[in-house]
Amino acid sequence: MSTVSPRPRTGRAHRLAGLLAATGVLLASCASGTLATSDTSPVGSSAPVTRPSVTGPTVVVTVPELVLSSQGTAPVTVAPTTDTVTASSTPEPAAETAQVPAAETDTAGPAPETTAAATAANPAPAPAPSGQGLNVSLANCDGCTVLATHRDVAGGRSAALVSTGSGRGILLSVGGDGQVAGVIGVPYGAAFTTPDSGVLPCAQGRCVVTGRQGDGRAILSAFELTDSGAWRDVSGDDAFPSATERSAVVDLDGELAIAVQDQGDGSAVWMLYTWSGDRYAVLGCAADGDPPATAAAVSPSACLS
């Protein structure tokens, strides 16, 4: 199917350490053929640092002050730390070797076996499936809000979208070993939308962030998680701004498509962007109404330009 190039748009916008403290996760994953729309109220900076709607194990992430104070948006890859975290700084006592009492003969019989019963009463939490949300708590990010997360985006690393105390958006990649592998600023939008499910839309190693411009119009952006754990901005020139407050992230058989609105002198139309192998390109357009949910619902001839 042929694609239509989008109209040009102008303007554009180190080290991290991470600790994981295990405890569990469960959120619904993105299902094929579903929409994540921009009707949810945008969130800027606020006091909570944990998204409470996610139940299960909690990942505790430390965001260094260097990142919080930086105004840049360039992606950062963080080398794994070799520091060992210990439970106590008290030195181990010397082994006592003066006297070792003789072993006593046990005449009372074997002790009752309680291991199986205890395990049944307190089963270990099951690991959350790939694609679900991650319960993230930020250890040193005053005024920050965890807006959305996604487990196992690529290479065993998960994503967390965070609004900082200054209102900036940052996207973290967190490895399964507890390390923050990379971070990138999200410069597109004055505020960011929290999905109802708490799950950041991600597929095929790419995640889509929904933001709001200062005048209330929607703007979407896309980021790809690389093999090194760093994020790559694949939003193109100035991301995907909508002419209205409406936008949607569309699941097209496991691939994320981006739907925003274009408008001239008349009614708005939907523009559907799909991944073309190295960038997002316009697949086609559709009349105003519900966002297009399939590739067959759009046509290049319906576009305004």
226-273 tens-digit pLDDT = 999 999 999 998 999 999 999 999 999 999 999 999 999 999 999 999
Q: Would 182 be classed as within a structural domain? A: yes
3-state helix, strand, coil in the chain (%, to 5): 5, 35, 60
Residue of 172, 137, 152, 19 lying closest to 81 (CA atoms)? 19
Under DSSP, is residue 284 helix (H, G, I), strand (E, B) or coil? strand
Q: What is d(CA 181, CA 77) in angstroms, rounded to the nearest whole number?
A: 6
Under DSSP, the state recorded for 4 is: B
Q: What is d(CA 269, CA 285) in angstroms, rounded to the nearest whole number?
A: 7
Domain that residue 173 falls in: 35-81+126-302
Name which of 2-6, 84-88, 230-234 the model is least confident about.
84-88
Under DSSP, the state recorded for 122 is: S
Name the domain count of the chain: 1
Q: Would 90 be classed as within a structural domain? A: no
Q: What are the structure tokens assigned to 259, written together?
A: 């739907």
Q: Would 209 be classed as within a structural domain? A: yes
Q: pLDDT at residue 194 above 80?
A: yes
Q: Would 262 be classed as within a structural domain? A: yes
Q: Would 254 be classed as within a structural domain? A: yes
Provide the CA 182 distance to its chain's centre, in angstroms. Answer: 12
Q: Would 288 be classed as within a structural domain? A: yes
* Each residue's pLDDT tens digit, 53-83: 555 577 787 775 645 555 545 555 444 433 3
Q: What are the structure tokens assigned to 204, written together?
A: 């095929």
| 206-212 vs 218-225, strand pairing mode | antiparallel
Q: Would 74 be classed as within a structural domain? A: yes
Q: pLDDT at residue 165 above 90?
A: no
Instruction: Quote the pLDDT of residue 67.
Output: 55
Name which of 140-149, 154-163, 284-293 the model is least confident about.
140-149
Q: What percent of the chain has pLDDT over 90?
A: 46
pTM given for the model: 0.66
Q: Would 98 be classed as within a structural domain? A: no
Q: Burial letters for 185-195: b for 16+ Cβ neighbours within 10 Å, e otherwise?
A: bbbbbebbbbb
